[in-house]
Amino acid sequence: METVLITGGSGLIGQALSELLMQHGYTVRHLSRTVKGNEKYPTFKWDLSQNELDSKALENVNHIIHLAGENVGEGRWTAARKKRILSSRVDTVALIQSKLQPNQLKSFISASGISYYGTKTTENIFKESDPKGTDFLADISVQWEKKAFEMSSLASRVVALRTGVVLSSKGGALEKLQKPIKIGIGSALGSGKQYMPWIHIKDLCNLYLEAVQNTKLEGVYNAVSSQHTTNLEMTQGVAKVFGKKLWAPKVPAFILKLLFGEMAQIILEGSRIDNSKIKAAGIAFEFEDLDGALNDLISKN
């Protein structure tokens, strides 16, 4: 029985992934900043500020899945917050790196972001081979991946999944989107023409499981569904599930910029992302169609 250590295991993706890994016979451990003692999975403490990591977490571990990272969509991007966003993704890898033995791992699998290509709306459909962007979030993903691939001396394989908007019934972007729609005041944001590359949480967890099990998977992969969906189409799709009509005008971009500052770009911009590389590896998606994904996830009560 192999052991998988997950950073950020208590989060939205981490919880769903932990359950899936257990179902497939893996022993699951979590790394967390706080340990209460009543966690569902064996949880070990790490403290980046003190450069501390409980060595028991790494004993006989076979795979590490790195999901830890401060939420980029919660609050304005002050200078201090930008530093935390980067550190929570990059410096945490360095901490793990310092505690491992050479060639200890079978795989190191890291989250990344489609923001690697730049947070912008263009006509391009971005593939893994396309150049990096130049904005703040692009730089975060670039540094995140660079640090992850430094683990190649400690792991037989390194995989990075550039992930889009994760759709889940238990929180995240979909919960925020559906709240105003349920009470009849939902509307598209900005122009509504910006793309929202998305993935159902079940498909994302299956990709992580595949990355653990499939020794042929190595390198960078876009983790998004095949369907290209704009913000307006996403909003309309959610409204359709609830049987609601969108009557409110689009929320103007300048209002969102006033409210969120620089962070508003993740709401107002977005391009299409190509997933042919991961599909060429023989991986099938359960939810390729937005209507099917939303109907699976949204409770109509």
The fold of 3-167+198-225+274-286 is: Rossmann fold (3.40.50)
Mean pLDDT of 121-142: 96
If pLDDT is split at 50, 70 and 90, which confidence band does 102 have? confident
Q: What is the 3-state secondary structure (H, E, C) of the chain?
A: CCEEEEECCCCHHHHHHHHHHHHCCCEEEEEECCCCCCCCCCEEEEEHHHCEECHHHHCCCCEEEECCCCCCCCCCCCHHHHHHHHHHHHHHHHHHHHHCCCCCEEEEEEEEEHHHHCCCCCCCEECCCCCCCCCHHHHHHHHHHHHHHHHHHCEEEEEEEEECEEECCCCCHHHHHHHHHHCCCCCCECCCCCECCEEEHHHHHHHHHHHHHCCCCCEEEEECCCCCCEHHHHHHHHHHHHCCCCCCCCECHHHHHHHHHHHHHHHHCCCEECCHHHHHCCCCCCCCCHHHHHHHHCCCC
* Among the listed residues 267, 246, 247, 271, the one whose alpha carbon sits nearest the alpha carbon of residue 256: 267
Domain edges within the chain: 3-167+198-225+274-286
What average pLDDT does the chain have?
94
* Among the listed residues 162, 48, 45, the one whose alpha carbon sits nearest the alpha carbon of residue 94: 48
Q: How far is CA 159 from the centre of its chain?
A: 14
Angle, CA 147 vertex, CA 146 and CA 150 arms, to 5°: 90
**Model pLDDT, residue 139:** 97
Mean pLDDT of 21-38: 93
**Model pLDDT, residue 83:** 96
> 28 pLDDT exceeds 60?
yes
CB 66 within 8 A of CB 81: no
> 276 pLDDT exceeds 80?
yes
* pLDDT tens, position by position, 223-238: 999 999 999 999 999 9
CB 294 within 8 A of CB 199: no
**Model pLDDT, residue 81:** 94
> 299 pLDDT exceeds 80?
no
The pair of three-digit structure tokens given for residue 65, joined into one six-digit string? 């899945």
**Model pLDDT, residue 74:** 84
> 288 pLDDT exceeds 80?
yes
Cα 291 to Cα 295: distance, rounded to the nearest angstrom: 6
Judged by average pLDDT, the poorest of 43-52, 204-213, 232-241, 243-252 is 243-252
CB 121 within 8 A of CB 133: no
**Model pLDDT, residue 184:** 85
**Model pLDDT, residue 210:** 98
**Model pLDDT, residue 300:** 59
* pLDDT tens, position by position, 242-271: 999 888 889 999 899 988 899 999 999 999
Q: What is the pTM of this model?
A: 0.96
CB 62 within 8 A of CB 4: yes
Cα distances from 249 to residues 173, 253, 270, in angstroms, run 20, 12, 20
Mean pLDDT of 186-202: 96
> 1 pLDDT exceeds 90?
no
If pLDDT is split at 50, 70 and 90, which confidence band does 297 have? very high
**Model pLDDT, residue 18:** 98
* pLDDT tens, position by position, 58-101: 999 999 999 999 999 888 899 999 999 999 999 999 999 999 98
